Amino acid sequence: MNKELVGASTGLLVLGILARSASYGYEIVKRLNAEAEGLFLWQEGTLYPVLHKLEKAGLVRTQWQDADTGRRRKYYYITAEGREALTERTEEWNAFNQMVLRLGEVRNG
Amino acid sequence: MDDKLSPATREEIQALCRKISVAHHLDAEIQEELHGHMEDKLAAYLDGEEALSEQDAFILVREHFGDPAALKRLLQDVHVHETHVSLALRLAVAFAVTTGLHALFGIAARAFLHVWPAARGMGGFQAVVALAATTAIVVSWLLLWRWQRGLAAGRTPWLLTRRPVYLVGVAALVWLLQSLAPISVLFDGSAPMLDLGNAWLIIVAAITAWPVLQCIVWLWWCDRPPRRARTAGAVAGVWALWMWLSSSLGILGGCLRAGALPAAASLPMLAQSVAMMLGYFALCAAIACGLYAAASYAATGLARASIARR
């Protein structure tokens, strides 16, 4: 899949994952890759700049929690602003997607 | 799950995380987060929770195999590089390039000193000669390096399609012409002596550095794997012989141009100077061989160590 397309939508994808339940870095990647069903494979390290950017924008908040392993994990929670942003961006994507499909149909027709 | 990881592996993960430095006040927290992710991933692989994709498997294979550049170097120490360039041709090319460039830059330096006589004083003469000699060596290395890359890519530079005898003949002619060229006698004054007091050691080192560097360029150009001491010896020997011959002929040519053949009484002194020159160039060749061998073995050692580390 086109990397630029995935890159432009990472924030939206992460918000989508977190909207279902709070999660930590490794688990977010696992869930994203599972959702992708082979469409793309995430370069795991690149998740953190996205997460930290969302946190700075106030769309997610974080909390360190003790894991079963005895180590601490940083959990990410979507905020109310994050949910709003997710709704807005999903609508934008839908509109954009509709346009792409329309243009694609014209070309193929 | 964490018990599966050894302290050594944890330390490696920690070292990897430390490389990702963002901002001093943030690093501890960010590194802890990244560390956790990597430990989770590693443990999941060990547990079999994380399936190994084809891409993952390839990464493992590549990492286990070692750095391709290091491996190439080690293999080149064993196998003969596929090339049709013989040692004789390489020597002839090195000879032609060195002679041509030294003639070119030598004439340029002399012309400069002739046109601008003021540059001859206050160490100017030495500076111009040094600049010309250094430029000739650097340019010769750049040329040979370019041709070496061309050969590695399967191209044969024009000069390497000539016969060695032809190249040596042309180079000898160039040397002869530049020795006799009118421009060489335009400035017939002797080099002004520079009084540097106790700095004679620096001067000796500098004078030795040029021939040593030039010899190293020859060694590098002629040295093809598998590396053989006798090849290096032959190259250094030919280089020293040529340097000695050209210097001796240069002295003789200078005497002839000045119209003064050495008197019978001064012949032993002349012979002594010529013999000393032979010793000097042999010493330069030996130093060059030593330095080149040390650098080569160090590079091979590093390559071997980089393979072993993985």
In chain A, residues with a C-beta closer than 8 Å to the C-beta of B40 are 26-27
* Cα–Cα dist B55/B11, whole Å: 25
CB of A76 within 8 Å of any CB in chain B?
no
* Cα–Cα dist B209/B204, whole Å: 8
Say whether B36 and A71 touch across the interface (CB within 8 A).
yes
Asked casually if ipTM beats, i.e. exceeds, 0.90, the reply is no
Please give, rounded to a whole number of angstroms, the shortest distance from the CA of A21 to a CA of chain B.
18
CA nearest B20 in A: which residue? A45
Within a domain: A13: yes
CB of A34 within 8 Å of any CB in chain B?
no
In chain B, residues with a C-beta closer than 8 Å to the C-beta of A44 are 37, 41
What was the pLDDT predicted at B191? 52
Question: Letter for the amino acid at B251?
Answer: I
Written in H, E and C, the secondary structure of chain B is CHHHCCHHHHHHHHHHHHHCCCCHHHHHHHHHHHHHHHHHHHHHHHHCCCCCCHHHHHHHHHHHHCCHHHHHHHHHCCCCCCCCCCHHHHHHHHHHHHHHHHHHHHHHHHHHHHHCHHHHCCCHHHHHHHHHHHHHHHHHHHHHHHHHHHHHCCCCCHHHHCCHHHHHHHHHHHHHHHHHCHHHHHCCCCCCCCCCCCCHHHHHHHHHHHHHHHHHHHHHHHCCCCCCHHHHHHHHHHHHHHHHHHHHHHHHHHHHHCCCCCCHHHHHHHHHHHHHHHHHHHHHHHHHHHHHHHHHHHHHHHHHHHHHHC
In chain B, residues with a C-beta closer than 8 Å to the C-beta of A48 are 30, 33-34, 37
Say whether B30 and A48 touch across the interface (CB within 8 A).
yes
Say whether B34 and A48 touch across the interface (CB within 8 A).
yes
Chain B residues within 8 angstroms (CB to CB) of chain A: 1-2, 20, 29-30, 32-34, 36-37, 39-41, 44, 53, 55
* Digitized pLDDT (tens) for each residue of chain B, 310 residues in all: 456 678 888 888 888 888 887 766 667 888 889 999 998 889 888 888 888 888 888 888 888 777 777 767 666 666 655 566 788 889 999 999 988 898 888 888 878 877 777 766 666 777 777 888 889 999 999 999 998 888 877 788 888 888 889 988 988 888 887 776 654 444 445 555 555 566 667 777 777 888 899 999 999 888 876 667 788 888 999 999 988 888 887 777 766 666 666 666 667 777 787 888 888 889 999 999 999 888 887 877 776 666 555 4
Within a domain: A50: yes
Q: Give me the residue spans of the domains in chain B.
A: 7-78, 80-309
Most B-contacting residue of A48, A66, A75, A76 (CB-CB within 10 A), to test interface:
A48
CB of A48 within 8 Å of any CB in chain B?
yes
CA nearest A33 in B: which residue? B50
Look at residues B286, B256, B284 and name the one whose alpha carbon lies nearest to residue B270: B256
CATH number of the domain where residue A75 is located: 1.10.10.10
| Residue ranges of chain A with per-residue pLDDT less than 70 | 1, 106-109
Please give, rounded to a whole number of angstroms, the shortest distance from the CA of A104 to a CA of chain B.
32
Within a domain: A62: yes
Most A-contacting residue of B1, B13, B40 (CB-CB within 10 A), to test interface:
B40
Within a domain: A32: yes
Say whether B37 and A72 touch across the interface (CB within 8 A).
no
Most B-contacting residue of A23, A26, A56, A76 (CB-CB within 10 A), to test interface:
A26
Total domains, chain A: 1
pLDDT (tens digit, 9 = 90+) per residue, A86-102? 999 999 999 998 998 89
Say whether B55 and A44 touch across the interface (CB within 8 A).
no
* Cα–Cα dist B174/B98, whole Å: 11
Please give, rounded to a whole number of angstroms, the shortest distance from the CA of B131 to a CA of chain A.
51
In chain A, residues with a C-beta closer than 8 Å to the C-beta of B25 are none
